Amino acid sequence: MKQMTEAQLSELEQDLNAIRNEVIADLGERDAQYIRRMVRLHRMLEAGGRVMMPFGFIPPVFVAATATLGIAKILENMEIGHNVMHGQYDWMNDPSLHSQTYEWDTVCTGDSWRRTHNYEHHTYTNIIGKDRDYGYAVLRLSDDEPWRPRHSLQFINYILLSVFFQWGVGLHELETEKLQRREISLREKLPFLKEFARKGGRQAFKDYVFFPLVTFPVAPIVLAGNVGANLIRNLWSSTVIFCGHFTQDAETFSEEECEGESKGHWYLRQLTGSSNFTGGRWLHILSGHLSYQVEHHVFPDLPAHRYPEISGKVQAVCQKHGIHYNTGSFARQYGTVLKRVLRHSLPEHLGGSSATTA
Amino acid sequence: MLAKQTQSRTLHWLGRQLFNRDDPAAFFDPLLERINPMWVQEYTPARVEQIIQETPDTKTLVLKPSRRWAGFRAGQHVNICVDVGGIRRNRTFSLSSSPILWQEQGRVTLTIKRLPGGRVTNWIHDALQTGTVIGMGEAFGDFLVPEPAQPVLFIAGGSGITPVLSQLETMAAIDYRAPVTLLYFVRTGDDVIAREKLQALSARYSALTLNIIATHETEEHRYLCDEDLDAIPGIKARQAFLCGPTGLMDLARNLLHQRGIADTDIHSTFFSVPQADLGNEALGGQVRFSGSKLDIGSEGDATLLDIAEAAGLSPRHGCRMGICHQCSCRKTAGTVVNRLTGQTSGPGEENIQICISVPKGPVSIDI
The domains of chain B, with CATH numbers, are 9-136 (2.40.30.10), 152-268 (3.40.50.80), 284-365 (3.10.20.30)
* Residue contact A33–B329, C-beta within 8 A: no
Which residues of chain A register pLDDT less than 70? 351-358
Looking at the domain assignment, is residue A310 inside a domain?
A: yes
A144 or B165, which is more confident?
A: B165
A298: nearest CA in chain B? B323
Q: Which of A239, A206, A225 is nearest to A341 (CA)?
A: A239
* Residue contact A98–B324, C-beta within 8 A: no
Looking at the domain assignment, is residue A260 inside a domain?
A: yes
Integer Cα distance of B235 and B152 in angstroms: 9
- pLDDT by residue (tens digit) across A140-189? 999 988 999 999 999 999 999 999 999 999 999 999 989 989 999 999 99
- Tell me the Ramachandran region of residue B52: left when phi exceeds 0, alpha when psi lies from -120 to 50, beta otherwise: beta
Q: How many CB pairs under 8 A join A and B?
A: 102
Q: Which of A83, A82, A285 is nearest to A169 (CA)?
A: A82
B42, B319, B351 ranked by CB distance to A98: nearest = B351
- Per the CB < 8 A criterion, the answer to whether B86 and A30 are in contact is yes
3-state secondary structure A242-271: HHHHCCCCCCCECHHHHCCCCHHHHHHHHH
Helix, strand, coil fractions of chain A, as percent rounded to 5 = 70, 0, 30
A112: nearest CA in chain B? B326
- Per the CB < 8 A criterion, the answer to whether A54 and A215 are in contact is yes
Does the complex come out with an ipTM higher than 0.95?
no
Measured from the Cβ of residue A157, the count of other Cβ atoms closer than 10 Å reads 18
Q: Which of B321, B325, B351 is nearest to B336 (CA)?
A: B351
**What pLDDT, on a 0 to 100 scale, did the predictor assign at position B279?**
45
- Per the CB < 8 A criterion, the answer to whether A143 and A344 are in contact is yes
Q: What integer is the mean pLDDT of B52-62?
A: 95
Structural domain span for residue A202:
6-351
Q: What is the largest CA-CA distance in chain A?
A: 69
Task: Name the pLDDT band for B6 (thresholds 50, 70, 90).
Answer: low
Looking at the domain assignment, is residue A358 inside a domain?
A: no
**Strand B180-186 vs strand B208-214: parallel, antiparallel, or unpaired?**
parallel
Q: Which of B305, B323, B328, B331 to mutate to test the interface with A (most CBs of A within 10 A)?
A: B323
**What pLDDT, on a 0 to 100 scale, did the predictor assign at position B271?**
56
Q: Which of B325, B350, B366 to mutate to test the interface with A (most CBs of A within 10 A)?
A: B325
Question: Could you give the number of structural domains in chain A?
Answer: 1
- Tell me the Ramachandran region of residue B334: left when phi exceeds 0, alpha when psi lies from -120 to 50, beta otherwise: left
* Residue contact B324–A21, C-beta within 8 A: no
A328 or B92, which is more confident?
A: A328
The residues with which B239 forms a beta bridge, in sequence order, are B152
pLDDT beyond 70 at B343: yes
**Strand B108-113 vs strand B58-65: parallel, antiparallel, or unpaired?**
antiparallel
Looking at the domain assignment, is residue A233 inside a domain?
A: yes
Q: Which of B305, B300, B301 is nearest to B319 (CA)?
A: B305
Looking at the domain assignment, is residue A216 inside a domain?
A: yes
A32: nearest CA in chain B? B86
- pLDDT by residue (tens digit) across B239-286? 999 999 888 998 999 999 999 999 999 998 865 443 333 345 578 889
- pLDDT by residue (tens digit) across A232-271? 999 999 999 999 999 999 999 999 999 989 999 999 999 9
Measured from the Cβ of residue A80, the count of other Cβ atoms closer than 10 Å reads 22
Quote the radius of gyration of chain B (alpha carbons, Å): 23
A94, A119, A202 ranked by CB distance to B324: nearest = A119
Integer Cα distance of A262 and A277 in angstroms: 28
**What pLDDT, on a 0 to 100 scale, did the predictor assign at position A95?**
86
Q: Which of B174, B145, B175, B127 is nearest to B74 (CA)?
A: B145
Looking at the domain assignment, is residue A357 inside a domain?
A: no
Tell me the residue type at B215.
T
Integer Cα distance of B340 and B334 in angstroms: 19
A109: nearest CA in chain B? B20
A92, A115, A122 ranked by CB distance to B88: nearest = A92
Mean pLDDT of chain B: 89
Mean pLDDT of chain A: 94
Q: Which of A35, A93, A121, A198 to mutate to test the interface with B (most CBs of B within 10 A)?
A: A93
Integer Cα distance of A142 and A254 in angstroms: 11
Integer Cα distance of B111 and B54 in angstroms: 8
Query: What's the distance, Cα to Cα, between the start and end of chain B in Å?
Result: 17
Torsion angle, alpha carbons of B220, B224, B229, B230, to 10: -20
Under an 8 Å CB criterion, which residues of A touch B?
Answer: 21, 24, 27-33, 36, 39-40, 43-44, 47, 85-87, 90-96, 98-100, 103-105, 114-115, 118-119, 122-123, 202, 205-206, 210, 263, 300-301
B341: nearest CA in chain A? A21
**What pLDDT, on a 0 to 100 scale, did the predictor assign at position A100?**
83
Q: What integer is the mean pLDDT of B291-306?
A: 87
* Residue contact B328–A205, C-beta within 8 A: no
Looking at the domain assignment, is residue A206 inside a domain?
A: yes
On chain B, the residues whose CB falls within 8 A of the CB of A91 are 87
- pLDDT by residue (tens digit) across B7-29? 688 889 999 999 999 889 899 99
- Phi first, then psi, for residue B5 (nearest 5°) are -85, 120
B30, B42, B86 ranked by CB distance to A28: nearest = B86
Q: What integer is the mean pLDDT of B223-238?
A: 93
